Amino acid sequence: MTALAALEALIFDVDGTLADTERDGHRVAFNLAFSELGLGWDWTEEVYAALLAVTGGKERIRFFLDRYRPDYPRDVDLQAFIADLHRRKTRHFVELLQRGAIPLRPGVERLLGEARAAGIRLAIATTTTPENVSALLQYCAETPLGDWFEVIAAGDVVPAKKPAPDIYLLALEELGLAPEQCLALEDSDNGVKACLGAGLRSLLVTVNGYTRDQDFSGVPLVVDHLGEPGRPCRALHGELAPAGLIDVPLLRRLHAQVLRQDPRP
């Protein structure tokens, strides 16, 4: 029997995983950009839930136009219009982060610190704009986390965004690791599809308000959050250590059991 690959790196998604950024962050920033241009558009929480089917802010704007504003004049240089609108949105999003509007999710900073102490390498694989990642790591943690991640694969650097596997394949390439040596942490079905497409079967999902009801069958462990001492997380699918805390020993057990295709972490 070949030796099981040890867990060498954690690859984190950003939006919905490191921080709950969509409802009160990106959505608000989009609406601020719309009003800056006097467009009269308002992405409510319900409309945004539907638009989240499409990853990438520029792609989401285009999806919105096609689905909700087919009447919007297409004679303009639509790509330039969307790019300008998205730049304005990104500025608003970064300002929200600078004001501390979006904290990291429970257990994120703790787990990152534990992984570093255990010599486990850290990477990011995200659809979001790199500027957003830098601002999140700079302003949303107790201490700036920017240099904790050896690899940050983000945004338009790949031809196809999640659910395509491209961004995870790029992160693996830049880490110089095989999928069997890594464990990915995601929040959404698009993210899980991207992981599995990149061969990353060792996978943990932390759901949020927008993704709670998505189909995560086949994901070895789904929890409501990573847990903090005194704030235990809850397993929605799969088994959890009694502590109710996602820590490095649990992730190592999860990784080994997935690789052995043992269904119980």
Q: Does 165 bind ligand XBP (CB under 6 A)?
A: no
Q: Which among 197, 167, 231 is positioned nearest to 11, based on CA atoms?
A: 167
106: partner contacted, choices ligand XBP, Mg ion, none (Cβ within 5-8 A by kind): none
Q: Could you give phi then psi for residue 55, rounded to 5 degrees? A: -90, 155
How far is C-alpha 83 from the chain's CA centre?
22
Check residue 92 for interaction with ligand XBP (CB under 6 A).
no
Per CB under 6 A, does 16 bind ligand XBP? yes
Please select the residue that binds ligand XBP; options are 7, 9, 11, 15, rule is CB under 6 A.
Answer: 15
Report the alpha-carbon distance of residue 21 to residue 94 in Å, rounded. 11
User: Based on CB atoms, which residue is closest to ligand XBP, 31 or 129?
Assistant: 129
163 binds Mg ion (CB under 5 A): no
Q: Which of 187, 194, 198, 222 binds Mg ion (CB under 5 A)?
A: 187
Rule CB under 6 A: is residue 206 a binding residue for ligand XBP? Answer: no
Among 48, 92, 129, 153, binds ligand XBP (CB under 6 A): 129
Per the DSSP assignment, residues forming a β-bridge with 184 are 11, 203
Q: 215 near 232, Cβ under 8 Å? A: no
Contact 246, 111 (CB under 8 A): yes
CB closer to Mg ion, 41 vs 219: 219
> CA-to-CA distance for 256 and 21, rounded, in angstroms?
31
Closer Cβ to ligand XBP, 129 or 206, answer by number: 129
